[in-house]
Amino acid sequence: MRNAHPQNCLARKKVTDGSKLIPSVTTSRVLCVGIATLDIVNQVEGYPAENSEVRALSQTQRMGGNAANTAIVLSQLGVNTSWAGNLPASSGLVEQTFSHYGVDYALAMRLPGAVLPTSYITLNRDNGSRSIVHYRDAPEYAFEAFSRIDLRRFDWLHFEGRAVGQLTRMLLYARDLPWLRISLEVEKPRPGIEDLFERADLLFFSHDYARARGYKDAPALLLGLKKGQVATCTWGSEGAWGIDHDGRLLQACAPNLPTVVDTIGAGDVFNAAMISGLCRDETWPAALQAAVNLASLKCGKDGLDLDQPVLVSPLIE
């Protein structure tokens, strides 16, 4: 039985911007594979009751999608980043966002006549929670498109855990290149996704997945994995837990955040920061704590631009 060795929370001080958390440029090349969406975000004073009408305090339109969000954060962290997935023939917002952050999207599969998937997000200003209604009628990204990519260009592949049938073939194909490190985000319980765990070098579990599978906390999930599986599991205000190849279980404590401003994409920020740290050969505890710190910093600001001012500053070491 593997034992838990949680880290103690570090001493904390106030950080008013992300500059101290953004590392130098790395030569690693990362490909993120998944979905890009149009996010329409309505901020409200409090979550509306059913069959009620409320006025939005603000409305923004931004690019979303887990793999797409991870890509733009990785690029801001100095990682040479590309994205692959389906896009309509014209998708100005996505193209502008990727270009702004320096993400290469030339590998996108263009689908004439398709409509960009849309997420309608209600952001509760009172506590930062977000509720999402997602609509899509475009097909999932297919293995046939992925198989045409020259993977020798990359050092790391990051997959969003969706369309398990297509994803299975992608992972099997990528495993033929032994130098590639592969991470898999497991945000939601999807039929058959557990069969893919052993094909990834690093698994990113969400609190929602753990709860849906009946785990009471992150350690219960991580200690139930096969021996040697490397993984993390985020757990909101408690931070995140991780388990390394030797079965050591570590906790990275979340810094105090007096008020949560915007949690949209916080998990994507965590994933990007972990990948960035490991690409730089940071130690497992250091990478885990840095990822929690950056994700917490994001929750104190709107959006995913790390250079934008923090509206509410967490206490971060």
Say if CB 270 and CB 234 are below 8 A apart: yes
141 domain residue, yes or no? no
Residue 1 has pLDDT above 80, yes or no: no
Q: What range defines the domain where residue 23 resides?
A: 13-34+66-116+150-311
55 domain residue, yes or no? no
Say if CB 204 and CB 274 are below 8 A apart: yes
Average pLDDT (207-214) is: 97
Q: Please give the C-alpha separations between residue 205 and each of 2, 34, 181, 213, 250, in angstroms, as whole numbers.
A: 19, 16, 17, 11, 15
pLDDT, tens digit, for every residue of 168-177?
999 999 999 9
**How many domains is the chain built from?**
1
CA distance 190 to 164: 8
Mean pLDDT score of the chain:
89
211 domain residue, yes or no? yes
Say if CB 157 and CB 180 are below 8 A apart: yes
Average pLDDT (185-194) is: 96
142 domain residue, yes or no? no
* pLDDT at 310 (0 to 100): 56
CA distance 292 to 237: 10
* pLDDT at 8 (0 to 100): 46
The domain that holds 85 is classified in CATH as 3.40.1190.20
- DSSP per-residue codes, 134-152: EE--SPPPPHHHHTTS-GG
57 domain residue, yes or no? no
Say if CB 6 and CB 39 are below 8 A apart: no
3 domain residue, yes or no? no
Say if CB 9 and CB 237 are below 8 A apart: no
54 domain residue, yes or no? no
41 domain residue, yes or no? no
pLDDT, tens digit, for every residue of 261-292?
888 899 999 999 999 999 999 999 999 999 99
For 288-307, the three-class secondary structure string (H helix, E strand, C coil) is: HHHHHHHHHHHHCCCCCCCC
* pLDDT at 260 (0 to 100): 83
pLDDT band (50, 70, 90) for residue 19: very low
Residue 308 has pLDDT above 80, yes or no: no
Q: Is the pTM of this model over 0.75?
A: yes
Looking at the chain, the whole-number percentage of residues with pLDDT higher than 90 is 74
